[in-house]
Amino acid sequence: MSMSKSIFKKLVEETNEFERTPVPESSLKGSRSFLGMYAGEHTAGTEFVIGPLFVAHGVSAIDLVFGLLIGNLLAVLSWALITAPIATAKRMTLYYQLERIAGKNVVRWYNLVNALMFCFLAGSMIAVSATAVGIPFNLEMPTLNDWLPRSSGWVLTVLLMGVVITLVAIQGYSQVSKFANVMSPWMIFIFISSAIVGLAQLGVTSWEGFITISQEVIWNGVPLSGMSKFSIWHIIFFAWFCNMAMHIGMSDLTILRYAKSWKAGFTSFSGMYLGHFVAWLASGILYSVFLQANSGSQEFAPGQIAFQTLGTAGAICVVIAGWTTANPTIYRAGLALQGIFPKVPTWKITAIVGGVTSLAACFPALVMKLLDFVALYGLLLMPMGAVIFADYYFSKKMGFMDEAALKTNSNFSFPALLSWILTLGFCLGLNLFYGVDIFFLGLPGWFVAVAIFVVLSRVKYPLLKASVS
């Protein structure tokens, strides 16, 4: 008992995440830390869902490969050229930096939306892990049409997974990064192995056979019943913007503020090409094997899909993959709420977030609707990333005050709030009146948000008034 109290006391007293101060030089980390972080986070639980959903949406093999090559490159460049330079210049969390620009009253609402989105995303990953943990207990697995939990056993499994994952997340970025560094190389190996084994089960014995099976069986261009058809443009924009909240939405300011150099943004390639390329292809192959063996099945359980091809190793990989995504996501959600309750220790808030996330994970709909959820989640948070970008790069060039809320001692910034609201209204209009798919709204929306913020800031906070203070 005394030992557990000592560990708990150390956790409370020594965990310092620099929530409202720049990260000191002594706490900066080299690129290796971020390589593991990105590889672990993006070679993870979502990959066991997204890859199969591409198969279900009937994307062709050529469209998938070229779409992923282009889209993932655009994502890496977004992290490296947009997010990382601001992160290493300011070295502050997204939430505190936004507070200095938009004011506390605006950021409170942003942080609440952000935290809820993170909770739901982490919850979907806990659910993914639970589909593997439940295999030995013969739990009834969710199907493509399930919204509610199917059994009390499912709920119990999910809640236990949530407790374990939260205990890691409350220990801060260092432990989250360490966990990812240890686990990611093994997970990548499992994904590659699963693809090889899965292809063998589909009858592939040569390169020519692989091309044929890929085009005629796995990614044959024919969507499953009730699913829409995906083109190369869906793949490009999804690969680019599935992490829109993290790069052009600036959430990874919170992570990259620890980097010694902005060039650490390029380490995101480890996640994009090992995770969002290799792992999506591998999990698509796994799902094709599952569909071949279970014709007409509506079951959609990543754990069961991986277990059928790789046995216990596949199931364990699903557990760890969900874990390495949920960990940093819960950590981010804790920091988001910490911006609303700055006097409450981050570890306490993260523990509460873990509880909310675990409850959300009980509902399988978070997994079944993951593509739509990820797109909506990025879209909701993207305008504030554009606000931070415009404030940093255009304030002096366009003649308005940077970090206006801080410098005017204001809790409320109309330019920031209206940029958020009007941009989302613009995107909603494109969707409702012109039928623009949600996957394609982020790009025009980001430019609209930048333009609105620059114009309104130039009117509200002209640089001549700022120079007096």
pLDDT at 211: 94
pLDDT at 38: 86
Lowest mean pLDDT among 75-84, 254-263, 293-302: 293-302
Lowest mean pLDDT among 264-268, 319-323, 416-420: 319-323
Across the chain, mean pLDDT equals 85
Determine what percent of the chain is predicted with pLDDT higher than 90: 46
Determine what percent of the chain is predicted with pLDDT higher than 70: 90
17-31 pLDDT per residue, tens: 677 787 878 788 888
- Number of C-beta neighbours around residue 139 at 10 A: 20
The first and second tokens of residue 309, run together, are: 């091809």
pLDDT at 311: 84
DSSP conformation letters of 420-461? HHHHHHHHHHHHHHH---GGGSHHHHHHHHHHHHHHHHHHHS
pLDDT at 213: 95
pLDDT band at 469 (very low <50, low <70, confident <90, very high): very low
pLDDT of 16 above 80: no
pLDDT at 283: 92
Domain segments of the chain as ranges: 27-371
pLDDT band at 58 (very low <50, low <70, confident <90, very high): very high
Q: Are 40 and 187 in contact (CB under 8 A)?
A: yes
355-376 pLDDT per residue, tens: 888 888 888 777 777 888 889 9
Q: Which of 292-326 are b and which e, b meaning 16 or more Cβ less than 10 Å from the residue's Cβ?
A: eeeeeeeebbbbbbbbbbbeebbbbbbbbbbbbbb
More confident residue, 75 or 309: 75
CA–CA gap between residue 321 and residue 180 (Å, rounded): 10
Mapped onto helix, strand or coil, the DSSP state of residue 335 is: helix
pLDDT at 342: 76
pLDDT of 263 above 80: yes
Mapped onto helix, strand or coil, the DSSP state of residue 204 is: coil
What is the pLDDT averaged over residues 75-91?
Answer: 96
Q: Exposed, middle or buried by CB within 10 Å (0-12, 13-18, 19+), for 157?
A: buried
pLDDT at 144: 64
Instruction: Fold for 27-371, please state it.
Output: Hydantoin permease (1.10.4160)
187-207 pLDDT per residue, tens: 778 888 888 999 999 999 999
Quick one: CA torsion of 299, 302, 308, 310, rounded to 10 degrees?
170
143-178 pLDDT per residue, tens: 666 677 777 888 888 888 888 777 777 766 555 556
Residues 6+ apart with CB under 8 A from 77: none
151-160 pLDDT per residue, tens: 788 888 888 8
pLDDT at 14: 47
pLDDT at 298: 66
pLDDT at 468: 42
pLDDT at 261: 92
pLDDT of 9 above 70: no
Angle, CA of 170, 239 and 197, to the nearest 5°? 85
pLDDT at 334: 79
pLDDT at 26: 77
More confident residue, 140 or 391: 391
Cα–Cα separations (whole angstroms), residue 69 to 29, 41, 210, 285, 415? 29, 19, 19, 18, 37
Q: Are 419 and 383 in contact (CB under 8 A)?
A: yes
Nearest to 90 by CA among 33, 30, 18: 18
